[in-house]
Amino acid sequence: MGNAVTILPFDDTFDVEPEESILKAVLRQGRYVKYGCKHGGCSTCRAHVVDGDYRLGESTSFALSDADRDAGVVLLCSTFADSGDLVVDVSKTMDDLTEEQYLAGHHVQEFTATVDRVDLLTHDIRWLGLRLNDESAMSFVAGQYVEVAVPDAPDQWRSFSMANPSMESGRVDLIVKLLPEGRFSTALDQRLKVGDQLQLRGPLGQFGVQLSHRPMVMIAGGSGMAPILAMLRDLAATGNRREVTFLYGARTARDLFLVEVLQDLARQNEWLTFIPALSEPNGDPAWNGETGLITEVLARHLPSTTGWEAYLCGPPLMIDAAVEVLTTSGCKDRHIHFDRFVPSG
C-alpha cells in the first residue's frame, strides 16, 4: 500500500512514491512551497508534521536543532513517509504562502545551452558560461539557481547559483568549485569546452534581494560569490540607493578571484563597499587587506547590525557563525537571508 501526504492549511492530499521526499512529491504534483537548495542545507522548506510516521535524511543534521526535531519540525526536501499517511502543516513556517501561489505551482523549464566560456578563476574554481539555445529566454531573479545535467550522465543533476544579472535572460553564468572525483567537476576541469552542449533546468530557489529600505550586508565564501555577484549587478543596473557592504572570505591569496571586478563595481557605485579578507594570509607581503575569519571582519566593520538586512552564501559552518554574529549585534532573524552551499560535485 502506498503512502499519501496532506499539505495544510490547503487540505491537499496526494500520493508519495517510494523513497520520494515530500518536497519532490509536492513539485511533481505541480504545487508550490518555499524551498531552496533541496539538499537539507538552507532550511527554507521548513514545515511541521501534524500526524504520521516519517524519517529524516542525514543531510538535516546541521539544519534542524534538537528542539526542532522534538517539536516535529522537518525539512520537506529531506522528509520521507515511513508508512501510511502523513499530514504536514506549512501555515506557520511559510505564513506568507497563499493558496493561490500553492495551487499555481512553480514553473520550471528545461533548456539546452551552448558552452561559450570556460575560465580558470582559481586553482579549484571555474567560470562556466552558457548561452541558451531556446528562443524563449529564462526569466529569473538574481540569487536563484539552476540544475545542470552531468555530461554523459543525463539522469544526474548538479545545482549551481547563477552569477549573471536577471536582465541577461538568454544566458547562464556559473561559478563552480571543483570537488575531487566529482563527476561534473571532472568533466568541467578536463573535457568541457566552448561549443559543447549542456542540459539545464530552472530557475529554482527563492534567494534574492528583498524589497525594503534597510542597508544590506552581504557575506560570501568560495563559490558563494555567484548569487551575490548577480544581486550586486542587478542592484547597479536598477539604480540602487541602499547602502551595501559585501564581505568576501577566502583562505589564502590564491583563493581570491574577481577582486578587480568587484572593486570596479564599488568605484562605479558609491553605495557599495567591498571588503575581501584572508583567514590564512601566511605572512604574504603582497597582502595588505583584512585578515581573520570573515565573522571577525564582520564584527570589526559592523559592530552593530541593528536595522540591517543580511544575505549570506557559502559553507554551512560559515553561515551558522555569521548568523550568530549578526543576531548578537542586533540584526533580526527575519532580516537574515541565506543560501547554504552543500557540496555538489
Instruction: Between 37 and 273, name the one with better pLDDT.
Output: 273
Quote the domain boundaries for residue 89: 3-104
Computed from CA positions of residues 137, 142, 146, 151, in that sequence, does the dihedral angle turn out positive or negative?
A: positive
CATH of the domain at 179: 2.40.30.10
Same domain? 159 vs 145: yes
pLDDT digit string (tens) for 299-343? 999 999 999 999 999 988 899 999 999 999 999 999 999 887 766
Number of structural domains in the chain: 3
pLDDT digit string (tens) for 121-177? 999 999 999 999 986 678 889 998 888 999 987 678 888 999 999 999 899 999 999
CATH of the domain at 88: 3.10.20.30
**The predicted structure's pLDDT at residue 285:** 82
Q: Average pLDDT of 1-10?
A: 87
Q: What is the spatial distance between Cα 201 and Cα 207, in angstroms, rounded to a whole number? A: 17
The H or E element spanning position 40 is none
Same domain? 92 vs 147: no
Largest pairwise CA distance in the chain = 67
272 and 266 Cβ atoms separated by less than 8 Å = yes
pLDDT digit string (tens) for 219-239? 999 999 999 999 999 999 999
Residue 237 resides in a domain? yes
SS3 296: helix
45 and 105 Cβ atoms separated by less than 8 Å = no
Among the listed ranges 25-29, 104-108, 167-171, 297-301, which one has the minimum average pLDDT value?
104-108
* C-alpha cell read off for 235: 542592484
**The predicted structure's pLDDT at residue 61:** 61
Same domain? 64 vs 162: no
Q: Average pLDDT of 3-31?
A: 91
Residue 211 resides in a domain? no
Q: Average pLDDT of 184-213?
A: 90
**pLDDT tier at 102, thresholds 50, 70, 90:** confident
* C-alpha cell read off for 32: 508550490
Residue 8 resides in a domain? yes
167 and 181 Cβ atoms separated by less than 8 Å = no
Instruction: Between 286 and 50, name the one with better pLDDT.
Output: 50
Q: What letter would DSSP give residue 162?
A: B
Residue 7 resides in a domain? yes
pLDDT digit string (tens) for 49-83? 999 999 988 766 667 788 888 889 999 999 999 87
Distances (CA, A) of 211 to 66, 203, 216, 234, 257: 33, 20, 11, 13, 29
CATH of the domain at 310: 3.40.50.80
Same domain? 230 vs 319: yes
pLDDT digit string (tens) for 242-273? 999 999 999 999 999 999 999 999 999 999 99
Same domain? 117 vs 87: no
| Of residues 345, 312, 316, 343, the one with CA closest to residue 327 | 312
Residue 345 resides in a domain? no
Same domain? 331 vs 221: yes
